Structure 1
Amino acid sequence: MTSPTPTAGRPAMSHRQVLQALSGLILGMFVSMIATTVVSTSLPVIVHDLGGDQNAFTWVVTATLLTTAISTPIWGKLADLMNRKVLYQGAIVLFVLATAAAGFAQDTGTLIAFRAVQGLGAGGLAALSQVIMADIISPRERGRYMGLFGAVMAVATVGGPLLGGVITDAFGWRWNFFVSLPIAIAALILVQTTLHLPKRAKVKARIDYLGIVLLSAAVSLLLIWVTSAGTSFDWWSTETVLMVGGALLGAILFVIVELRSSEPLIPLSLFRNRTFTLSVIASIATGIAMFGASVFLGQYMQLARGATPTEAGLMTIPMIAGLLLSSVGVGALITKYGKWKPYLLVGSVSLIAGATLLSTINYDTNFALVSLYMFLLGAGVGMTMQNLVLVVQNTAKPTEIGVASSGVTFFRSLGGTIGVSVMGAALATRVADLVTSTKDDIAAAIAALGDKAPYWAEQLQSGTLPQVSSMPEGLRVLFEDIYAQGISHSFLIAVPFAVISLIAIIFLPNAPLTKMTTTERLQAGEADLATVSVPAGMGTLTATGSTADAAASSAPRARDDG
C-alpha cells in the first residue's frame, strides 16, 4: 500500500500550470504599478497645474503610500479568514476606480483624497499576491517566480514614466489616470479563469476594527506632523506636542488592543520570530530607498536638469535596469541553489552605495555617474524587496502566512511613507533656505528680464511648485542648482536606514528554504495531529507511516522561534 503524501488529492502543479495560475496575479500587479508610475514623471506638471506647492507634491505621493501601508495588514488578515481570490478581484476594482476618479480632480485636495482611496486597493494587491503565491508555490521554487514579479515591476516602472510622459506631452496629464482601465478588465478576467486555489477550511471572520482605527490614527498623525512641521508651524510648538503625543498614545493603545484581541490585526507574537523581526527592520530601509528614489529622482530630472516628463522617464531607466536584472537573476539563482542570504547582503551593500552616491549629485553632475548611482540603488532594491518576504514566509506558521506576509509589506510601505514624508520635508526646508540665501541673485536675474520681470516675480511668490524648464536662462540655472542641492540633501536621509538594513540582514538566521507549499504544510500539520489523536493500538502503524513518508517526501520545515 502506498502512503499518501501531504498533497493527496491534489497533484503538484507543473511549471506551465503555475504560470497560468500566476498570469492574473502578474497582470494585476502590472495594473497597480503602471497606474502608479504612469503619473510619476507628470507629477510636477500636475501639481503646478492644480496650484499646489512642495507639500502638496509630497502628500499626493504620501497619501497613497499611507493608505497602502495601513490597509496591507488588514488585507493580510482578511486573507487568512476569507476567499483570497474574491479579495484580490475586489482590490483590483477598488484600485482602478479610484485611479480613474483621480483623473477628474480640480485641485490638489481632491487629487490627494482619490490617491488615498487608490492606496487602499494597492495594499490589497501587494499583500494578496504574496499570500496567493505561497498557496501554490514552495519557498524553494518561489524565487524564480518572484523574479517574474520583479521583472513585471521593472517593466511597469520603465514603461509607466515613459508612457506617462508621452501622454502628458501629447494629450494632457489627466489621460494618465485612465490608461489602466482596459488592463484592469483583462486582469479580472484572467484571475477568474486561471486562478484556482486549494479549498481551505471556512473560518468565521473577526475583524479588529478598533486596531484599524488606532493604527490609522497613529500613523496619520505622525506623517502630518513630519510633513507640516517647520513650514505650517514650528518644530517646537503646541501642534507638535499634540500630534506627536497623539501618535504615541495611539501606538500604545494599538499594542494594548492587539495583545487583548482574539483576532489581532498584527499578531505581536510574530515578533517572537527573529526572522520576522529582522526582516521588518530591513524592509523599512528598502521601502525608504524604493519609494524615495521613485519620487525624487523624477523631480530631480525635471527641476534640476530641465527635462520634460518624457525625457525624465528615459533618464531613470538605469535604476530600473538595476532592479530588473537583479530581481530576475537573483530569483533564478535562489531557486537553483537554495541559498538566499548572500544575495540579500550584496543587495543591502548596493543600497547603501546607491543612496550615499545619490546624495552627492548636483545639477551638472556627469549623467553617466548619475546613471551608475541609480543602477546601484535599483539593484539593491531588486535583491532585497521580494526576498525579504520570501524569507518570512519560509519560517511563518502556515496559518499565519497572510498576516506575516502583509506584516513585512506593511512595514516596507510604512517605511516608504515616512521616508517620502521626511525626504519631502527636508527638500522643502532646504529649498526655502537656499532661496533665502540666494535672494539677491534671484532678484538680479528677475530684474534682467525687463517686461517679463513682474510675471516671474509673481510666479515665484505664489508658492506654487515651479516649472523650472520653462524659466528664462538666468533664472532657470539658479533654480536648477537650488533643487539639485535640495534633492541630493534629501537622499542623505536614506543612508543610515540602509546601514541599519545591512546590520539586520547580517543577523538573519540562515534557514534553508522548504520545498513545501503553504497548503502542503497545513496538510502535513493535520497529518501530525491525526497521528497524535489515534488511540493506542488502532492504526498506529498506518498513521505513523503516512506521516513519516510525508515528511520524507519534502524538505524539513524551517522553523525559527528566536
Structure 2
Amino acid sequence: MAKDSADNPPRAEEQVGLGFSHRQILVTMSGLVVAMLLAMLDNMIVAPALPTIVGELGGLNHLAWVTTGYVLASTVATPIWGKLGDLYGRRIIFTAAVAIFLIGSALCGVSQDMAQLVAFRAIQGLGAGGLMVGVLSIIGEMIPPRDRSKYQGVMMAVMPVAMIGGPLIGGFITDNLSWRWAFYVNLPLGAVTLILCWITLAKLPKGTGKAVIDWWGTGLLTIWITALVLVTSWGGTQYEWGSAQILGLIAVAVVGFVAFIMVERRVAEPIMPLRVFKSANFSLSGAVSFISGFAMFGAMGFLPQFQQFVQGSSATNSGLLLMPMMIAAMVVSLSAGQLISKTGHYKSLPIIGSVLVTVGLALFATMDVGTSTFVSGIYMVLLGAGMGAMMQTSTLIAQNSLDLRDMGAGTGVSTFLRNMGSSLGVSLLGAVYTTHLADTLTGTPAVAASATRMTPQLLRSLPESVQKLFEQAVTNGVTALFTWGAAVAAVGIVVALFIRQVPLRSAVKPQAASTDAEPVAVSS
C-alpha cells in the first residue's frame, strides 16, 4: 500500500470529500465536537445530582427512570434520526435534534415532581439520539473513508473531557448552586452548537427525498422495548410478578417482538437489518456490548447513592470519587486501540474485560457501611479497566463482521444493543436497589415514609440511630444490585470465549449478498 495521506496530512487548500478543504473540515468539526460533548456530558453531570434530586422531588421508586427514560428514548430515536437525515438533509435534521435536546433540558430544569422530570428526560433523550447519529453521519458524509482516520482523534478528545469533567461539574453544581443547573448548563453549550452547525453545515447535501422510513418497524420496536423495560422496572416492586399488569406487559413485549421480526424480514429498508446477525462474531460482540452497557450504567447510576449516603461524600466529592473508574476506562480503551492497530489481535481483550468487570462488580457486592473510599476506589479501577477493554473492542469486532452495505446499519445495531443493556441495567438494578432498601426499613414506618424524600443533608440532621439504619438500607440495596450485576457480567465471560480471531483488513472489500461469510471489513 502506498504511503499516502496517512503520513501526509492535507494542506488547508486541498479539497477532501464533498469539496471541503482541511480548514473547512476543522471548522465544521468544531460544532460537531461541542454537540458530541453535549450528548456525552449530560448523564455524567446528572449522576452526582440524583440523590439530591430524588430527595427534593420525592419518588424514590422513579429514580432509575431518570436515566432509563433518557436512554430508552435515545435508543429508539437514533435510527429514525438517521433516516430523516437521508430524506431531508443532515443540516436541518441535526439542528432540529439539538433544538429538541435543549427544549428537554430547559423543561427538566423546571420540573416540579419526578413524573415531570422523567417525561422531560425522555424529550431530552429524543434529541440526544439525533446528536450522536447526526455527528457520525455528518462525518461519514463529509469525509471519505480513506481520509476519515486523520480527523477521528479530534472526536476522541471529547471522551476524557466528558468522563472526567462531567461528574465534577455535576457535583459542583449540586453543592454550590441547584441541581436544576445540571440541566440548564446545556443551554449555552447548545446555543453555540446550533449557531456553529447551522453556519458550517450549509455545504452538505440537502437530502435525496427518496428515503423510506420503516414506521411499522419503528413503532413495534418502541412498543416491545418499552414493555420490556417496564417489566424489569415494576416487577416485584410496584406490582407482583404474577399480577395482571406484569403478565400483560410480558405478553405485549413478546407479541411486539415477534411482530417486529416479521416486519423487519419483509420491508425494503428495515430499521434493523436482521441479516447482520448471521455473522456469529457480530452477534457475540453485540452480546458483549449489551453486557458492558448493563454494567456501566448500573455502576454510574447507583454508586453516588452509596458514596453520599453511606461514605458521607458531598456531591462534588462523589463526582471526584468516580474518577478512578472513568480514568481507567479511558486509558485502557485508548491503549486497547493502539494494541489492536499494531498487532491486529483483539480476541483476548473482551475476555479480559469481562473478567475484570465481573471481579469489580463482585467486589462492590462485598461492601458494607465501613468500606472506605480508598477501597471502593480500587474496585472502581478494576471495573473501569474492564469496561475500557470491552467497549471499544466490541464495536471494532462488530464492524469487522459487516459487509460494506451494512456498515452504517450494523454499527447502529451494535450501539442499540449497548443502549438496551443500559436501559435494562438501570431499570432492573434500580428495582433491586429500591426493593432491598425498602425491605430493610420495613420495621421502621417513620423512616420508610421519609425515604422517598431523603437527601444526604437531611440524613445528617437526623438522630444517629436513624442515620445508621438508613445507611445500612442503602448498603443492602447497593450490594444486592452489584451481586446481580456480577452474575450478568459472568455470562459475558462465556460469550467472549466464543469470539473468533478474524484477521483485520485495512479496507472494505465488496461482497456478494451472502451473509454467512466471515467478516470482510474493518476500521483501520
Give the TM-score category using the shorter length: 0.7 to 0.9
Q: What is the identity, as a one-letter code, of the residue corresponding to 1:496?
A: A
Paired position in structure 2 for 1:501: 492
Q: Compute the displacement of 1:59 (Å).
A: 1.3
Which structure's relative contact order is higher, taking Cα pairs within 8 Å and 6+ residues apart? 1
Q: Compute the displacement of 1:113 (Å).
A: 0.6
Q: Measure, in 1, the Cα distance between the counterparts of 2:204 and 2:506.
A: 17
Tell me the TM-score normalized by structure 1.
Answer: 0.80
Paired position in structure 1 for 2:120: 114
281-290 or 190-199: bigger deviation: 190-199
Number of residue-to-residue matches in the alignment: 500
Paired position in structure 1 for 2:515: none
**Aligned pairs (5 A) from 1:329-340:** 329-340=335-346
Q: For residues 350 and 15 of structure 1, do their structure 2 counterparts lie closer, same or farther at Cα, with a shift above 3 Å needed?
A: farther
Q: For residues 257 and 18 of structure 1, do their structure 2 counterparts lie closer, same or farther at Cα, with a shift above 3 Å needed?
A: same
Q: What is the identity, as a one-letter code, of the residue corresponding to 2:121?
A: R
**Aligned pairs (5 A) from 1:285-296:** 285-296=291-302
SS at match of 2:166: helix
**Aligned pairs (5 A) from 1:78-117:** 78=84, 83-117=89-123
Q: Measure, in 2, the Cα distance between the counterparts of 1:299 and 1:388.
A: 30
Q: What is the identity, as a one-letter code, of the residue corresponding to 2:219?
A: V
Q: Measure, in 2, the Cα distance between the counterparts of 1:17 and 1:384.
A: 35
- Deviation per CA, 1:480-531: give whole Å up to 9, x if none: 1221121011012222332333333333333333334xxxx5xx859x9xxx
**Aligned pairs (5 A) from 1:223-372:** 223-372=229-378
Gaps spanning 5+ residues in structure 2: where?
A: 6-14, 513-517
Q: Measure, in 1, the Cα distance between the counterparts of 2:147 and 2:346.
A: 10
Answer yes or no: is 1:34 the counterpart of 2:41.
yes
Paired position in structure 1 for 2:389: 383
SS at match of 1:260: coil
SS at match of 1:464: helix
Paired position in structure 1 for 2:173: 167
Q: Measure, in 2, the Cα distance between the counterparts of 1:73 and 1:501.
A: 26
SS at match of 2:211: coil
Q: 2:52 is matched with which residue: 45, 48, 61? A: 45
Q: Compute the displacement of 1:50 (Å).
A: 1.2
128-137 or 481-490: bigger deviation: 128-137
SS at match of 1:492: helix
Q: Compute the displacement of 1:167 (Å).
A: 1.6
Q: Compute the displacement of 1:177 (Å).
A: 0.9
- Deviation per CA, 1:279-305: give whole Å up to 9, x if none: 211111011011111101112211222
Aligned partners of 1:141 and 1:335 also within 8 Å: no
Paired position in structure 2 for 1:490: 481
Aligned partners of 1:217 and 1:247 also within 8 Å: yes
Q: What is the identity, as a one-letter code, of the residue corresponding to 1:464?
A: T
Q: Compute the displacement of 1:377 (Å).
A: 1.1
Answer yes or no: is 1:404 the counterpart of 2:410.
yes
Q: For residues 141 and 326 of structure 1, do their structure 2 counterparts lie closer, same or farther at Cα, with a shift above 3 Å needed?
A: farther
Aligned partners of 2:54 and 2:455 also within 8 Å: no
Q: Measure, in 2, the Cα distance between the counterparts of 1:509 and 1:430.
A: 40
Aligned partners of 2:94 and 2:131 also within 8 Å: yes
Paired position in structure 2 for 1:511: 502
Q: 1:69 is matched with which residue: 75, 99, 103? A: 75
Answer yes or no: is 1:186 the counterpart of 2:177.
no
Q: What is the identity, as a one-letter code, of the residue corresponding to 2:377?
A: S
Instruction: Find the structure with the greater CA-based Rg.
Output: 1
- Deviation per CA, 1:114-136: give whole Å up to 9, x if none: 10011112222333444455554
Aligned partners of 2:56 and 2:453 also within 8 Å: no
148-157 or 496-505: bigger deviation: 148-157
Tell me the TM-score normalized by structure 2.
Answer: 0.86
Q: Compute the displacement of 1:236 (Å).
A: 1.1
Q: Compute the displacement of 1:18 (Å).
A: 7.1
Q: For residues 180 and 357 of structure 1, do their structure 2 counterparts lie closer, same or farther at Cα, with a shift above 3 Å needed?
A: same
Answer yes or no: is 1:479 the counterpart of 2:485.
no
Gaps spanning 5+ residues in structure 1: where?
A: 444-456, 529-555
Q: What is the identity, as a one-letter code, of the residue corresponding to 2:449?
A: Q
- Deviation per CA, 1:243-291: give whole Å up to 9, x if none: 1111111111111111121111111111112232112111110110111
88-97 or 267-276: bigger deviation: 88-97
Answer yes or no: is 1:466 the counterpart of 2:454.
yes
- Deviation per CA, 1:412-446: give whole Å up to 9, x if none: 1111111111101111111122223xx3xx58xxx
Aligned partners of 2:87 and 2:207 also within 8 Å: no
SS at match of 2:265: helix
Q: Measure, in 1, the Cα distance between the counterparts of 2:502 and 2:85.
A: 26
Q: What is the identity, as a one-letter code, of the residue corresponding to 2:42?
A: A
- Deviation per CA, 1:206-239: give whole Å up to 9, x if none: 1111211111111111222221222222111211
SS at match of 2:46: coil
Q: Compute the displacement of 1:155 (Å).
A: 2.5
Q: Measure, in 2, the Cα distance between the counterparts of 1:149 and 1:219.
A: 30
Q: What is the identity, as a one-letter code, of the residue corresponding to 1:466?
A: M
Q: Measure, in 1, the Cα distance between the counterparts of 2:505 and 2:465.
A: 62
Q: Measure, in 2, the Cα distance between the counterparts of 1:365 and 1:343.
A: 30
